[in-house]
Amino acid sequence: RKEVEQDPGPFNVPEGATVAFNCTYSNSASQSFFWYRQDCRKEPKLLMSVYSSGNEDGRFTAQLNRASQYISLLIRDSKLSDSATYLCVVTSEEYGNKLVFGAGTILRVKS
Amino acid sequence: NAGVTQTPKFQVLKTGQSMTLQCAQDMNHNSMYWYRQDPGMGLRLIYYSASEGTTDKGEVPNGYNVSRLNKREFSLRLESAAPSQTSVYFCASSEGAGENWEKYFGPGTRLTVT
């Protein structure tokens, strides 16, 4: 079983829509959680950290459910510029608590 | 600031050839990393350097070596390239070695081994 699993998508949504992605992780001891964004043929960039209490950054909301071992990302009022691959990232005790990346979920926002 | 830079951007190698991927950062970060990204898989850590003078293996170190030349530079060497090493390679840096430090990635090197 992969340590981090994501629905690869693509999620095709119209501008202005609300879209949500989930990500499940297998290691119950994982301590830190993040969402990264990767544009086509570009490098990943940190979108937001995910805190136990949930956190919001503008149109983006991230939540953590430790009991069910998943994290979610909600994007409200989608913009064309939100089109990208969203990478779920958790820490792993193996390899010295380094980051483990999911394969990503593709979002396409269309006008 | 250029951030994290990588050279070359693209490379094609024949099986058995060797090459070194170069990475440099100008953010005075202590920690540097090498990842590979393959279709359908997440980025996987090859090697990392928590601080100048130290290097450690990540998830997929076989077939690679690294050198932390100084605080700015961290190179990745393929001694005898294999088709399984065809991938996109990303270098990253962070201010500290802990998982909560934001990682800044370079633009990547697209390597094809034939």
Nearest-neighbour CA in chain B from A22: distance (Å): 15
Residue in this structure with the two tokens 């992605």, named with its chain if needed: A21
Q: What is the pLDDT of residues B4-21, one digit of tens each?
A: 999 999 999 999 999 999
Q: Say if A45 is an interface residue toward chain B (CB within 8 Å).
A: yes
Does A96 score more than 70 pLDDT? no
Q: Are B64 and B77 in contact (CB under 8 A)?
A: yes
Query: If you ran DSSP here, which 8-state letter would residue B84 be given?
Result: G
- Smallest Cβ distance to B40: which of A31, A97, A103? A103
Mean pLDDT of the region A53-57: 92
Mean pLDDT of A40-56: 93
pLDDT in tens, B59-99: 899 999 999 999 999 999 999 999 999 999 999 999 988 87
- pLDDT tens column, B8-67: 999 999 999 999 999 999 999 999 999 999 988 889 999 999 999 999 999 899 999 999
DSSP string, B26-56: SS--SEEEEEEE-TTS--EEEEEESSTT--E
Q: How far is CA A7 from CA A52, A82, A104, B9, B37, in A?
A: 22, 17, 7, 29, 17
CB contact under 8 A, A87 and B105: no
With CB atoms and an 8 Å threshold, state whether A4 touches B44: no
CB contact under 8 A, B43 and A44: yes
Q: What letter represents residue A104's amino acid?
A: G
Least CB–CB distance from A46: residue in B42, B43, B102: B102
Task: For residue B4, give how far its alpha carbon lies from the nearest alpha carbon of chain A (Å).
Answer: 10
